[in-house]
Structure 1
Amino acid sequence: MQAEDATPLIPGQTKLVKAKTRRGKRYLESRAPKATEDAKRVLFLYGNQTSQVVKDVLTDLYQLKRLEAQKFTRKNENVRPFESGGETSLEFYCNRNNCPLFVLGSHSKKRPHNIVIGRMFDFHLYDALEMGVEELKAIRDFGAAGTRAQLGNKPCIVFVGEKFESVPAMALAKSLLLDMFRGEPVDKINLAGVDRVVMAVAMDDARLQLRQYSVRFKKSGTRIPRVALMEMGPRIIFSVRRYRLPPSDLQQEAMKQPKLGKKKEKNVASDSLAGKVGRIYMPKQNMDTLGLSKYKGTKRQRRESAREAAEARKQPKVAQLVAEGASTE
């Protein structure tokens, strides 16, 4: 049974989950917040009504993210990200499948061939962008060129047009596409492994074109090969419709960065010879009341002085008894 058949959680319900096994502990740690995020998983699902164009778009996008995606095949009537209360089921599905990104496909007379791309923060709806499919050329229409790229390789992502910086909807589209295609974070990249290029072109304020090319290395007569691009699909022209930006307080919370590195210790330094060197501040010491270790000789002197003090206390009592006896006579 797929996750869309399950009933969503009650809004406001909280439940503390504790791991009972080592495997469960590793699973919870993998879903915990991290300073460097992993590649975001994408949930592909359909709305109440769909068209063949929408199915082809979701199939091609899922093929590009197959290793980091989950796809539903049934209809979902209650998933409406732009309506009040319509995001409850969507948040439940994303939480159940550990997918902070989602792509929703639907079709209606008012909004034909509709695609909604959105993100989650703490598995609550963060932002969303609604686009319509105007033109589509699927991967299968490009023949063998659509199968040259290897799954799992990081693509080169190119954004063409200043609209991606000045228009809010296009800036949101750029951010969403980067999150979708960036893959796993790495420190170094082998250029021989960059086998495809994802290009997004801002045609105007409300239209963008998405294309994908495969990278071919051909002979150039030198040690450096000649790089050629061959379109491999999909080729999609989107028209931007509605978009939903995150609230300022939620955005501020989502943009928080943890403080990396160790906390600085006061009065502690490091030395190449002695290693860790510290400075200690001690209050003034009173040697009379200071508890120190006692040696045997010191203990013997204390016993003798205590014996002499006891004898000195007894002598006045003996003299007093002698005086009392003389007075009685």
Structure 2
Amino acid sequence: MPAVMQRVLKPTTRRGKKVLINRGPKLIENVRQTLFMKGKNTSDIARNCLKDLYQLKKPEVVQLNKKNDVLPFEDVTPIEKLSKKYDASLFAFISHNKKRPNNLILGRMFDNQLLDMVELGIGNFKSLSAFTNDKIAAGIKPCLLFAGPQFSQVPNLNRIQNLFIDFFQREKVEAVRLQGLEHVIMFTVDDNGENIFMRSYKILLKKSGERIPRVELEEIGPSVDFKLRRLKLASDDHFKRTCKQPKQLKARKIKNVSHNVFGTKVGRIHMTKQDINKLQTRKMKGLKKSIKEKKEQRLKKVKAKAQ
């Protein structure tokens, strides 16, 4: 079978070169862009839900206003092409039909190819506009909470949890300021593992009379009851390969350094056997050799040479 020739893109302008470098592989990836799409037929509930998700994800979003005659579970190739075109590794797609009303599909890509995809039914939807209280500012990194043992016990739900984390997380941070925690998104799974309830809250820090403030949660929307419909997940081996990190980012283990139960760093040093007689000490009169000891030392050296 002849080898397939791949087209190599070469930039013709300085701006094009900058775009290709930005899309190329990096040790630390860019913040993931999300592609928001509409199917051929949609409903008001699905459109409002997509609009609210768009508000939560801004500014790392790409919105396509035209309708797309696409069925992701039958053929995902059009979405893969759009993902490559707009450099978006996440997508949200809505559709509506008699068999699957108010349908939402969330998915993610790896190397411009589909990795995971989940189809959710939208139920008991309350939009952001249904809550009249103050909202959070755009671009706030949310705190994600997952309630229910099924998220860790059921493999499919564990993968869906990982997908939600990828979908709503933003840039990686090393430290968190207490006043910076303003938004909480909570996902709760029922006992059957068929429904996932999404709720969004604003964190209020109020006076408590002590140093630590009193924390209250105020629901701001959107509020959605998702019903699991269809799944298309990558195999465990393929998913493991996608999670592989480059060697440059892995923390190198320092030899002979460990931590005890109290968290104190403990080091071990390997040294050769020391001769105490040759140990350098402070030069004091009391530690100097006497004339008799010096004569004996000279005699020993003479006898050693004579032998």
Aligned equivalents of 2:197, 2:224: Cα separation in 1? 6
Once the two structures are TM-superposed, the CA of residue 168 in structure 1 deviates from its matched residue by 3.0
Aligned equivalents of 1:26, 1:234: Cα separation in 2? 38
Aligned length: 247
Once the two structures are TM-superposed, the CA of residue 172 in structure 1 deviates from its matched residue by 2.3
1:44 aligned to which of 33, 36, 53? 36
State the partner residue of 2:131. 142
Q: Does 1:257 align with 2:258?
A: no
2:183 aligned to which of 196, 202, 205? 196
Contact 1:211-1:236 at 8 Å conserved across structures = yes
Contact 2:37-2:93 at 8 Å conserved across structures = yes
State the partner residue of 1:226. 214
Alignment of 1:128-277 (within 5 A): 128-145=117-134, 147=135, 149-204=136-191, 205-248=193-236, 250-260=238-248
Tell me, which stretches of 5 or more residues in structure 2 are unaligned?
253-307
Contact 1:42-1:103 at 8 Å conserved across structures = yes
1:269-326 per-residue CA deviation (whole Å, 9 max, x = no partner) reads: xxxxxxxxxxxxxxxxxxxxxxxxxxxxxxxxxxxxxxxxxxxxxxxxxxxxxxxxxx
CA RMSD of aligned residues (A): 2.0
Once the two structures are TM-superposed, the CA of residue 195 in structure 1 deviates from its matched residue by 0.6
Q: Does 1:81 align with 2:72?
A: yes
Contact 2:32-2:170 at 8 Å conserved across structures = yes
Structure 2 length normalisation: TM-score? 0.76
- Which secondary structure does the structure 1 equivalent of 2:175 belong to? coil
Tell me, which stretches of 5 or more residues in structure 1 are unaligned?
1-11, 265-329
1:63-100 per-residue CA deviation (whole Å, 9 max, x = no partner) reads: 001200111122111x22211xx111111111111110
Contact 1:129-1:169 at 8 Å conserved across structures = no
Contact 1:67-1:151 at 8 Å conserved across structures = yes
Structure 1 length normalisation: TM-score? 0.71
Specify whether residues 253 and 82 from structure 1 end up closer, same or farther in structure 2 by C-alpha distance, changes over 3 A only.
Answer: same
Contact 2:27-2:249 at 8 Å conserved across structures = no
Aligned equivalents of 1:13, 1:125: Cα separation in 2? 23
- Which secondary structure does the structure 2 equivalent of 1:177 belong to? helix
Larger Rg: 1
Q: What letter is aligned with 1:234?
A: P
